[in-house]
């Protein structure tokens, strides 16, 4: 595995590989790798000649008072995992390499951000879209892999790729979970044992909603209330949002029909956790 720290070297190596006709699969991450990231890497490894992963905790996507400094980091562990997953090139730039000067041009996301995490984390998706634009230009991938745990991010990346004509295929990968259903996340390490136990209720509440929909419920408000009641009875965490939209355009819907997302975010003492279910209702 090659570890590359500069954009210039990354681009040069990728251009050589592309000239040889190699297809490049890319998994961008913020590190502290777990089985969720590994599922993306496994799929990208299978579907491309070359697997590139990046580790970069992007300051642009963290708001004031968020966990930028506290975000867990462990490069030795991460490079071991990357090696084990067959990563050919691990891109690990510094903040100075990515943002040597205050940027004069950044990307602003206009759609699909006024709801869910976009609403509670203003500017977050602008930071995501800006860093991905830079990463896509550094890595020049043919395919990029993103997890559906961050389903709004997938919707935003879909918009970014289409609106800016990146010649890249977006591949969305199902959420990887712990045995009790909790979505794997680098932020799960912030949970104390008591909170960790309660955190399983995020997914349990989504399953309850799914069950109710399977039995015929079609009113989004009823589903939202059902989830909130379940969470309020079982979790001390503060509900940030529980929302239901069409997917991937994230429009408000009066009735559950077609492809929909049920998404929620909960604030525990040191961690804000998100989860969602995407369902196709016929």
**Interface ranges with ligand AMP (CB under 6 A):** 29-30, 36-37, 39-40, 146-147, 149-150, 173, 175-176, 183-186
Residue 97 near residue 6 (C-beta atoms within 8 A): yes
3-state helix, strand, coil in the chain (%, to 5): 45, 20, 35
Separation of alpha carbons 55 and 67, rounded Å: 17
Separation of alpha carbons 264 and 274, rounded Å: 6
Smallest gap from Cβ 217 to ligand AMP, in A, equals 27
The residue among 40 and 90 lying less far from ligand AMP, judged by its C-beta, is: 40
CB proximity list for 204: less than 8 A, separation 6 or greater: 181, 230, 234
Residue 52 near residue 87 (C-beta atoms within 8 A): yes
- 137 counts as catalytic: no
Separation of alpha carbons 208 and 189, rounded Å: 26
The residue among 29 and 204 lying less far from ligand AMP, judged by its C-beta, is: 29
Token readout for 84 is 């084990």
Catalytic residue selected from 37, 49, 162, 230? 37
Token readout for 79 is 């490079």
Smallest gap from Cβ 16 to ligand AMP, in A, equals 26
Which DSSP category does 85 fall into? T
Token readout for 143 is 């395919």
The residue among 10 and 128 lying less far from ligand AMP, judged by its C-beta, is: 128
The residue among 29 and 79 lying less far from ligand AMP, judged by its C-beta, is: 29
Closest CA to 164 of 144, 136, 145, 139: 136
The residue among 172 and 223 lying less far from ligand AMP, judged by its C-beta, is: 172
Separation of alpha carbons 245 and 220, rounded Å: 8
Smallest gap from Cβ 103 to ligand AMP, in A, equals 20
The residue among 183 and 250 lying less far from ligand AMP, judged by its C-beta, is: 183
Separation of alpha carbons 207 and 276, rounded Å: 10
Smallest gap from Cβ 109 to ligand AMP, in A, equals 16
Smallest gap from Cβ 32 to ligand AMP, in A, equals 7
Smallest gap from Cβ 155 to ligand AMP, in A, equals 12
CB proximity list for 177: less than 8 A, separation 6 or greater: 183, 184, 203
Q: Please tell me whether residue 132 adopts helix, strand or coil conformation.
A: helix
Q: State which residue has the least CB distance to ligand AMP.
A: 147
Q: Which residues are catalytic?
A: 37
């Amino acid at each position: 595995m090659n570890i590359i720290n500069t954009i210039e070297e990354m681009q040069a190596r990728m251009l050589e590989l592309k000239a040889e006709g190699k297809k490049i699969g890319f998994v961008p991450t913020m590190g502290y790798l777990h089985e969720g990231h590994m599922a993306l890497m496994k799929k990208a490894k299978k579907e491309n000649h070359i697997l590139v992963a990046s580790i970069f905790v992007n300051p642009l996507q963290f708001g004031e008072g968020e966990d930028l400094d506290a975000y867990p980091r462990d490069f030795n562990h991460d490079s071991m995992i990357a090696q084990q997953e067959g990563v050919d090139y691990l891109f690990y730039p510094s903040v100075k390499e990515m943002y040597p000067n205050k940027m004069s041009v950044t990307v602003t996301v206009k759609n699909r951000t006024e709801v869910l995490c976009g609403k509670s984390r203003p500017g977050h998706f602008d930071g995501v879209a800006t860093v991905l634009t830079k990463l896509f230009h550094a890595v020049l991938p043919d395919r990029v892999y993103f997890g559906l745990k961050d389903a709004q991010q997938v919707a935003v990346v879909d918009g970014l790729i289409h609106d800016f004509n990146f010649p890249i295929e977006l591949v969305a990968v199902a959420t990887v979970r712990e045995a009790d259903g909790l979505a794997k996340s680098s932020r799960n390490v912030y949970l104390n044992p008591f909170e960790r136990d309660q955190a399983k209720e995020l997914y349990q509440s989504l399953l309850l909603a799914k069950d109710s929909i399977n039995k015929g419920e079609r009113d989004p408000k009823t589903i939202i209330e059902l989830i909130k009641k379940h969470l309020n009875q079982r979790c001390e965490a503060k509900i940030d949002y529980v929302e239901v939209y069409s997917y991937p355009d994230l429009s408000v819907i009066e009735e559950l029909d077609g492809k929909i997302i049920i998404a929620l975010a909960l604030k525990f003492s040191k961690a804000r956790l998100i989860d969602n279910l995407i369902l196709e209702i016929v």
